[in-house]
């Protein structure tokens, strides 16, 4: 018998009992819908975490200077400058897994345009910093090596600062006063949004590190009064870079084997992975609960197919009498179960996508419907149909034609 | 060579500890184009004989040649093939698929025979026309009278152009008038070259056949050729009048 005919016969049999067919596939619909919606929520959360970490910078390591201990009270990291400019040079030279290294000297300062003012974080740094953070200029230019060498009084502003100081006016070429010293605005950073902790990345200004030290906040000559940002050569290399820098700094700081580090290295890639791991666990949990409901849906299909085989025993007998082989009958009931399950799966996908959309709109949750999950869900429900349809179909095909014809 | 050749066919059923001998070494042959009625009371083995001849069942012992082919050892799949290609069935309770049109019911054997859709429609329509139901092709079986349903069943049996039609009490659920119509159809089929094997317990019905085989206790008791068989044509010289459609519990 032609496959298309088998499908047509199956479809007709199912449409004959519309309500029953619908109730049978309801389990599959809810199961698949739940899988799609749950995974969409999980994936949305994951994508959000990924995006926020990506905006901090790729393959990023941050080295913080160490702590002071005075009178038994131990200060936190960064309470004492322990990192030297020589350390920075050594890292650049001797840690092969590190591609870029740049300082970030920070100070809070009042910025003044001609008619506005705004307090923001002013950073002293070098051009590599922007490469580490994967941050580009929206207008104008970034800091240049020549700016650093010549201690140029130039500033690159974040988008928020531009908005506060200049509004719609083009800030390029304007003069902004930082601690009453005039700086020329040479660039505006592209918008970066919020950090994973909710801090506004765009509320800041950048000046060359040399200018920062001479004009904004005089530091110690030898020590860096800030943090060092490192860019590893690749994502895989971040752990290696961390180890290399750690070994290098311990060696340079003459720390004994048992002594505490007088610095700390934060591995942002690891943090991102940990967060992702968390959302992945959540996704797996939600998906397995949804998967169980799919299984329950499959049992519903088996149940109704068994009823159907019993009800249609006479029909099976007639079909066999006119020449249906056992495999014809097997195929017919199998296709029926498969049709039920796949139709349920497709309706379930629609339901899941709709639900994900509604949740996104209502609660502002980020959701992401992954096409591969959609395909997998439909295939899986088809598999459920075949697995749970096989026993009833086999039962039908094994009927004795004489008994089946006599069945009342 | 005979179309049906049974040689020492026995059928034994086990009912718990008891062995039931439904057929005891039946030897029996039917020539092509013959119209044979098998008679007997219930338990005589006539239904078992019909099931074996109809390839719905296999004998416990003995051989059965259908159209020269030994079919008693075939498996379920091969038997289905023989039923589809060589045989046609007509049952007492019609056994049409409910909520399915007459045309589709008649197409069913062709569907399993793998006939393409276009040819299927054409042949099914032709078969329906042959039983006088061309205008009822799209009626569902539950919209037809018993006589019409049985004629659809006959059309379904002959649509594959079988060598043999096996009819099991085909008039058991019909009134005397429609009985005559159906018997006329069978006589007509026999005349056009299809062998008909009719199982019945009514002598009136058996009277239409050319040959009557009487069964008792699993054996053939008598086997007589009826020279002066009753001709259904005489009684239905006028074309059959359809009864008003009514619900029939099939």
Which residues from A are below 8 Å from B77, CB to CB? 325-327
In a domain, B243, yes or no: no
Report angle CA B217, B171, B101 to the nearest 5 degrees.
125
Which residues from A are below 8 Å from B112, CB to CB? 1, 319, 322-325, 328
pLDDT score of A75 more than 70: no
CATH number of residue B168's parent domain? 3.40.50.300
Model confidence at B234, pLDDT cuts 50, 70, 90, reads low
CB contact under 8 A, B112 and A325: yes
* d(C-alpha B243, C-alpha B174), whole Å: 12
Over the stretch A268-277, which tens digit does the pLDDT of each residue have?
Answer: 777 777 777 8
**Domain of B153, in residue numbers:** 4-235
Q: Please answer whether residues B182 and B133 qualify as being in contact, where contact means their C-beta atoms are separated by less than 8 angstroms.
A: no
What is the predicted pLDDT for the residue at A84? 86
Q: Where are the domains of chain A?
A: 3-52+274-406, 81-261
CB contact under 8 A, B97 and A315: yes
Over the stretch A326-373, which tens digit does the pLDDT of each residue have?
Answer: 999 999 999 999 999 999 999 999 999 999 889 888 888 788 888 888
By Cβ distance, the residue of B56, B77, B160 closest to A321 is B56
pLDDT score of A396 more than 80: yes
Q: Is B94 on the interface with A (CB under 8 A)?
A: no
Q: Is B85 on the interface with A (CB under 8 A)?
A: yes
CA–CA min distance B117, chain A (Å): 9
What is the predicted pLDDT for the residue at A68? 56
Report the residue of A323, A394, A406 to disrupt the B interface, i.e. the one with the largest count of B CBs within 10 Å. A323
Interface confidence (ipTM) of the complex: 0.89
Number of domains in chain B: 1
Q: Is B92 on the interface with A (CB under 8 A)?
A: no
Compute, in degrees rounded to 10, the torsion defined by CA atoms B118, B120, B125, B127.
150
Over the stretch B75-106, which tens digit does the pLDDT of each residue have?
Answer: 999 999 999 999 999 999 999 998 889 999 99
Q: How large a percentage of chain A has pLDDT more than 90?
A: 28
Reduce the DSSP state of residue B35 to 3 states and report it. Answer: strand
Mean predicted confidence (pLDDT) in B132-146:
91
CB contact under 8 A, A320 and B84: no
CB contact under 8 A, B56 and A2: no
What is the predicted pLDDT for the residue at B232? 66
Model confidence at B250, pLDDT cuts 50, 70, 90, reads very low
Which residues from B are below 8 Å from A14, CB to CB? none
Q: Is B46 on the interface with A (CB under 8 A)?
A: no
Over the stretch A143-170, which tens digit does the pLDDT of each residue have?
Answer: 999 999 998 999 999 989 988 888 888 8
In a domain, B242, yes or no: no
What is the predicted pLDDT for the residue at B235? 53
Q: How many CA atoms lie within 13 A of B231 on its CB side?
A: 6
* d(C-alpha B62, C-alpha B69), whole Å: 14
CA–CA min distance B95, chain A (Å): 6
Which residues from A are below 8 Å from B156, CB to CB? 322
Mean predicted confidence (pLDDT) in A28-41:
88
CA–CA min distance A46, chain B (Å): 53
Range A16-25 contact pairs with CB under 8 angstroms and sequence separation of 24 or more: A16/B99, A20/A304, A21/A340, A24/A300, A24/A301, A24/A303, A24/A304, A24/A340, A24/A344, A25/A297, A25/A301, A25/A340, A25/A341, A25/A343, A25/A344, A25/A347
Reduce the DSSP state of residue A88 to 3 states and report it. Answer: helix
By Cβ distance, the residue of A314, A324, A405 closest to B112 is A324
CB contact under 8 A, B156 and A317: no
Q: Answer with the residue of higher pLDDT: A111 or A49.
A: A111
Q: Please answer whether residues A286 and A39 qualify as being in contact, where contact means their C-beta atoms are separated by less than 8 angstroms.
A: yes
pLDDT score of B65 more than 80: yes
Which residues from A are below 8 Å from B56, CB to CB? 321, 401-402, 405
Q: Answer with the residue of higher pLDDT: A58 or A84.
A: A84
What is the predicted pLDDT for the residue at B228? 62
Q: Is B81 on the interface with A (CB under 8 A)?
A: yes
Q: Is A319 on the interface with B (CB under 8 A)?
A: yes
CA dihedral sign of residues A53, A55, A60, A62: negative
CA–CA min distance A289, chain B (Å): 41
């Amino acid at each position: 018998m032609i496959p298309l005919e088998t499908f047509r016969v199956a479809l007709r049999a199912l449409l004959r009992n519309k309500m029953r067919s619908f109730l049978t596939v309801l389990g599959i619909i809810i199961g698949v819908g739940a899988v799609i919606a749950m995974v969409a929520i999980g994936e949305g959360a994951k994508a959000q975490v990924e995006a926020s970490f990506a905006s901090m910078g790729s393959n990023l390591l941050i080295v913080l200077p160490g702590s002071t201990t005075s009178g038994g009270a131990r200060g936190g990291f960064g309470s004492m400058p322990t990192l030297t400019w020589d350390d920075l040079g050594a890292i650049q030279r001797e840690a092969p897994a590190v591609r870029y290294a740049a300082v970030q000297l920070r100070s809070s300062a009042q910025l003044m345009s001609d008619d506005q003012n705004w307090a923001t974080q002013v950073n002293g740094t070098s051009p590599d910093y922007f490469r580490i953070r994967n941050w580009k200029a929206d207008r104008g230019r970034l800091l240049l090596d020549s700016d650093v060498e010549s201690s140029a009084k130039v500033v690159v502003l974040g988008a928020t600062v531009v908005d506060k100081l200049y509004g719609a006016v083009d800030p390029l070429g304007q003069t902004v006063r930082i601690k009453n010293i005039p700086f020329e605005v040479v660039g505006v950073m592209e918008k970066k949004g919020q950090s994973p902790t909710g801090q506004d990345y765009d509320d800041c200004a950048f000046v060359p590190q040399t200018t920062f030290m001479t004009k904004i906040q005089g530091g110690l000559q030898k020590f860096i009064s800030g943090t060092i940002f490192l860019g590893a050569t690749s994502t895989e290399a971040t752990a290696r870079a961390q180890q290399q820098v750690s070994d290098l700094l311990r060696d340079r700081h003459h720390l004994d084997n048992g002594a505490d580090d007088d610095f700390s290295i934060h591995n942002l890639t690891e943090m991102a992975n940990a967060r992702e791991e968390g959302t992945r666990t959540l996704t797996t949990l939600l998906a397995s609960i949804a998967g169980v409901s799919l299984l329950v849906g499959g049992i519903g299909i088996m149940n109704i197919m068994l009823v159907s085989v019993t009800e249609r025993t006479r029909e099976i007998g007639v079909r066999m009498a006119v020449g249906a082989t056992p495999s014809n009958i097997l195929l017919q009931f199998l296709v029926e179960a498969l049709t039920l399950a796949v139709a349920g799966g497709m309706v379930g996908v629609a339901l899941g996508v709709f639900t994900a959309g509604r949740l996104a709109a209502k609660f502002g949750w980020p959701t992401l419907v992954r096409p591969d999950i959609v395909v997998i869900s439909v295939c899986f429900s088809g598999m459920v149909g075949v697995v749970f349809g096989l026993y009833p179909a086999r039962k039908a095909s094994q009927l004795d034609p004489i008994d089946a014809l006599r069945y009342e | 060579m005979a179309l049906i050749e049974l040689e020492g066919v026995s059928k034994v059923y086990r009912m718990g500890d008891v062995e039931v001998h439904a057929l005891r070494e039946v030897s029996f042959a039917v020539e092509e184009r013959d119209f044979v009625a098998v008679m007997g009371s219930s338990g005589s083995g006539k239904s078992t004989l019909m099931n074996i001849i109809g390839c719905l069942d296999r004998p416990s012992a003995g051989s059965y040649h259908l159209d020269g082919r030994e079919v008693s050892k075939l498996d379920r799949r091969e038997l289905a093939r023989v039923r589809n290609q060589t045989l046609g069935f007509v049952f007492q309770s019609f056994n049409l698929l409910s909520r399915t049109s007459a045309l589709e019911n008649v197409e069913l054997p062709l569907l399993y025979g793998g006939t393409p859709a276009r040819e299927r429609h054409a042949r099914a329509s032709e078969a329906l026309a042959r039983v006088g139901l061309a205008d009822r092709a799209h009626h569902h079986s539950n919209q037809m009278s018993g006589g019409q349903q049985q004629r659809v069943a006959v059309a379904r049996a002959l649509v594959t152009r079988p060598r043999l039609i096996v009819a099991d009490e085909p008039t058991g659920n019909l009134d005397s008038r429609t009985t005559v119509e159906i018997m006329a159809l069978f006589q007509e089929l026999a005349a056009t070259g299809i062998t008909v094997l009719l199982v019945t317990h009514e002598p009136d019905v058996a009277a239409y056949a050319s040959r009557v085989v009487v069964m008792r206790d699993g054996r053939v008791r008598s086997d007589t050729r009826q020279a002066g068989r009753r001709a259904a044509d005489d009684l239905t010289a006028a074309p059959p009048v359809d009864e008003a459609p009514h619900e029939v519990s099939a």
